[in-house]
């Protein structure tokens, strides 16, 4: 699938020059900063040196005062509190955070993760009944609940209160909980709308400490859980998320909780974890627990205090991750064979597919058929599944337009979940295709690579790489800078590497042969014939370090290659 290379607009030259002067950086670095909205010395100071004092007052969030008051009443009165959350990474880290927070303050606290297969997503009647039958009078609900109107009403009728900490889009009616904490509420003036579910839970903990004059420093150890959630949930890496991630990574690398340390050992990536290591090393393993068996297994690991037990649980979860990979591979192959070639959307369904991997499969399908995609399977007599979208297209809104055919749905712009009756599937496929066809643009249907700058080879230096690394943590809205260089050649050493010969290794130089840098293109074996025999090509890439035998060497991690006729 051919990508569209999109070069970002250059910022105002005066702003770039002012940044160069005030910061003492190169034009390249100043341009990158200005592209990210960093225009003054003070902006740069906050960006490069985020402070925990930059976090907003949690009481700016609607209902926070009510949540803190109800939580304190429960703690003071020795009520039993049930911490309830979703079975994905955001949910299980949020539950772990709130459970550990409350465990220090009250005598009776437990956690509850719904079974993906028996109860499905979000608040369940089974969970509420469990709370009632075990004398829990308060449920603190995390990463779900914003649309559980009927279920929260049911709980209220049997004297079980709810505090909801969510970050998904609300429906037209809010649940009648004691407090509904969600920055996406239309009546909520909280300055930052893009917190993850675990982040909302942390704000509740912050508010409690602030209200009762407890040390904020006692909450810092919880930030390793917050950064794992932020990274896994792919929320914008700006504003509060950047601050929380910056200090969360420090906590994760300096003094991670026992469960995360065991998982880091199993992931076996490297000594110092960054956001990418969390996304690809920790998040899939935490997710695998809920996908293959039960999300409780992830929480059991994350709150574990004994390292030997944590090691056993981490190994157990790692085995689940291996199973998940095998299921992902086989189901993706089956789903690819079912895709309608000329449609604007993809909806595929098989009642025998594993419910735990349909979201991953939807993402895989987009890699080959770039369009809004829904993958469904059978669960409890109904069809349930996950939706994933392409850049710029709001799949949540598209699903909402089909809501008369659905039992329930929820999610974000780029990812959502839904449930429908089997007999509604043909009508839903037709309706979803109609909605997508009338709302998607031609531009949205082409995969894009957003490029920050076009630069010559001589600007690619170790010093530039070191400064760029200080722009981390990277993520949406603060992506690792992508560069483009035109009219380069491989010096003749280009070859295919890897067990399956599916990676491209080359040595790149410009037409002046002034500098040669190693390049690596993972999964890019198809481009070998584009670069062989010293053919000119354009390349887009990020700067990377190749660390081998104790030495570090600058290299280009290639994102795409295209033909060039400049030489």
At 401 the three-state DSSP class reads coil
Q: How many helices (H) and strands (E) does the chain have?
A: 20, 19
At 22 the three-state DSSP class reads helix
State pLDDT tens for residues 353-391: 999 899 999 999 999 999 999 999 998 899 999 999 999
State pLDDT tens for residues 161-186: 999 999 999 999 999 999 999 999 99
What is the DSSP code (8-state) at residue 475? B
Is the per-residue pLDDT at 494 higher than 50?
Answer: yes
At 385 the three-state DSSP class reads strand
| Cα angle, residue 125 at apex, residues 124 and 129 outer, rounded to 5° | 120
Q: How large is the average pLDDT for residues 270-292?
A: 92
Distance CA 62, CA 179 (A): 8
Whose CA is closest to 318, among 266, 247, 283?
A: 266
For the chain, give the percent of residues with pLDDT over 90: 88
Phi, psi of 562 (to 5 degrees): -140, 160
CA 252 → CA 78, 228, 313, 498, 520, distances in Å? 33, 9, 19, 31, 29
Residue with tokens 């002034």: 514
Distance CA 224, CA 97 (A): 9
Adjacency order of strands within the sheet including 80-85: 109-112, 80-85, 136-142, 161-165, 179-181
- pLDDT confidence tier of residue 513, bands split at 50, 70 and 90: low
Distance CA 190, CA 188 (A): 6
State pLDDT tens for residues 468-490: 999 999 999 999 999 999 999 99
Residue 550 has what pLDDT? 77
How many CB atoms are located within 10 Å of the residue 268 CB? Answer: 8
Is the per-residue pLDDT at 98 higher than 80?
Answer: yes
C-beta of residue 353 within 8 angstroms of C-beta of residue 386: no
Is the per-residue pLDDT at 20 higher than 70?
Answer: yes
Whose CA is closest to 86, among 127, 40, 46, 42?
A: 127
Domains and CATH numbers, the chain: 4-9+449-563 (2.40.50.460), 58-319 (3.90.1640.30), 338-445 (3.10.310.30)
Q: How large is the average pLDDT for residues 56-84?
A: 98
Taking each helix axis from N to C end, the angle separating 307-336 and 358-368, rounded to the nearest 10 degrees, works out to 50
Whose CA is closest to 275, among 299, 255, 256, 248?
A: 248
- What does the DSSP assignment read for 191-250? S-----HHHHHHHHHHHHHHHTT--GGGGGGGHHHHHHHHHHHT---SHHHHHHHHHHHH
The helix (run of H) or strand (run of E) holding residue 342 is none
Distance CA 481, CA 449 (A): 11
Query: Who's near 195: CB < 8 A, 6+ residues apart?
Result: 167, 183, 203, 235, 240, 241
Long-range Cβ contacts of 2-5 (<8 Å, 24+ apart): 2/446, 3/446, 3/447, 3/448, 3/449, 3/560, 4/446, 4/447, 4/448, 4/449, 5/448, 5/449, 5/451, 5/484, 5/538, 5/540, 5/560, 5/562
For the chain, give the percent of residues with pLDDT over 70: 99
Question: Three-class SS string for 418-455?
Answer: EEECHHHHHHHHHHHHHHHHHHCCCHHHCCEEEECEEC
State pLDDT tens for residues 209-234: 999 999 999 999 999 999 999 999 98
Residue 567 has what pLDDT? 41
Is the per-residue pLDDT at 55 higher than 50?
Answer: yes
Long-range Cβ contacts of 367-370 (<8 Å, 24+ apart): 367/1, 368/1, 368/336, 369/336, 369/339, 370/1, 370/445, 370/446, 370/447
The CA-based dihedral angle spanning residues 244, 248, 249, 253, taken in that order and rounded to the nearest 10 degrees: 170
Q: What share of the chain is helix, strand, coil (3-state, %, to 5)?
A: 45, 20, 35
- What does the DSSP assignment read for 58-118? GGGSTTHHHHHHHHHHHHHTT-EEEEEE-SSHHHHHHHHHHHHHHHTT-S-EEEE---TTT
Question: Three-class SS string for 476-540?
Answer: CCECCCCEEEEEEEECCCCEEECCCCCEEEEEEECCCCCCEEEEEECCCHHHHHHHHHHCCEEEE
State pLDDT tens for residues 124-148: 999 999 999 999 999 999 999 999 9
C-beta of residue 28 within 8 angstroms of C-beta of residue 16: no
Residue 565 has what pLDDT? 53
**How many Cα neighbours within 13 Å face the side chain of 233?**
33
Whose CA is closest to 114, among 345, 288, 290?
A: 290
């Amino acid at each position: 699938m051919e990508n569209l290379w999109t070069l970002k607009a250059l910022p105002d030259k005066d702003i770039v020059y002012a940044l160069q002067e005030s910061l003492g950086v190169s034009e390249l670095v100043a341009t990158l900063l200005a592209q990210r909205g960093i225009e003054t010395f003070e902006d740069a100071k906050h960006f490069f040196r985020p402070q925990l004092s930059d976090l907003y007052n949690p009481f700016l969030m609607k209902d926070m005062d009510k949540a803190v008051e109800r939580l304190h009443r429960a703690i003071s009165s020795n009520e039993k509190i049930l911490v309830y959350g979703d079975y994905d990474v955001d949910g299980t880290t949020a539950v772990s955070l709130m459970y550990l927070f409350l465990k220090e303050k009250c005598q009776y606290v437990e956690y509850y993760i719904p079974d993906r297969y028996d109860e499905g997503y979000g608040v369940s009647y089974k969970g509420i009944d469990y709370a009632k039958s075990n004398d829990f009078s308060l449920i603190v609900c995390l990463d779900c609940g914003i649309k559980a109107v009927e279920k929260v009403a049911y709980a209220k009728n049997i004297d079980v209160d709810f505090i909801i900490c969510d970050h998904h889009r609300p429906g037209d009616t809010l649940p009648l909980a004691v407090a509904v904490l969600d920055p996406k509420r239309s009546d909520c003036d909280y300055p930052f709308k893009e917190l993850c579910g675990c982040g909302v839970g942390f704000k509740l903990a912050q508010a409690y400490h602030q209200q009762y004059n407890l040390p904020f420093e006692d909450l810092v150890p919880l930030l390793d859980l917050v950064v794992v959630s932020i990274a896994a949930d792919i929320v914008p890496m700006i504003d509060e998320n950047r601050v929380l991630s910056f200090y969360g990574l420090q906590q994760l690398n300096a003094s991670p909780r026992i469960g995360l340390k065991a998982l880091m050992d199993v992931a076996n990536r490297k000594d110092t974890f960054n956001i990418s290591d969390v996304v690809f090393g920790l998040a899939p393993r935490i997710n695998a627990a809920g996908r293959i068996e039960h999300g409780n297994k992830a929480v059991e690991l994350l709150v574990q205090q004994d390292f030997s037990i944590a090691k056993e649980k981490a190994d157990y979860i790692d085995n689940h991750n291996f199973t998940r990979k095998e299921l992902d591979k086989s189901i993706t192959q089956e789903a690819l064979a079912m895709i309608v070639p000329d449609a604007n959307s993809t909806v595929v369904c098989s009642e025998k597919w594993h419910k735990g991997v349909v979201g991953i499969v939807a993402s895989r399908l987009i890699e080959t058929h770039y369009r809004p995609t829904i993958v469904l399977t059978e669960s409890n007599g109904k069809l349930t599944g996950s939706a994933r979208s392409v850049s710029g297209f709001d799949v949540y809104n598209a699903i909402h337009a089909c809501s008369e055919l659905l039992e329930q749905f929820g999610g974000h712009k780029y990812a959502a979940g839904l449930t429908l009756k089997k007999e509604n599937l043909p009508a839903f496929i037709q309706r979803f295709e109609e909605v997508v066809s009338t709302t998607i643009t031609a531009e949205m249907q082409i995969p894009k690579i957003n490029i920050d700058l076009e630069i010559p080879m001589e600007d690619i230096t170790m010093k530039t790489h070191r400064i760029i690394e200080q722009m981390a943590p990277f993520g949406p809205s603060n992506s690792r800078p992508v560069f483009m260089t035109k009219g380069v050649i491989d010096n003749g050493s280009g070859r295919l590497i890897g067990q399956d010969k599916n990676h491209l290794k080359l040595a790149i130089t410009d037409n002046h042969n002034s500098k040669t840098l190693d390049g690596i293109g993972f999964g890019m074996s198809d481009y070998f014939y584009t670069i062989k025999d010293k053919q000119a090509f354009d390349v887009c890439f990020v700067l990377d370090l190749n660390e081998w035998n104790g030495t570090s060497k600058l290299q280009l991690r290639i994102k795409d290659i295209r033909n060039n006729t400049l030489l």
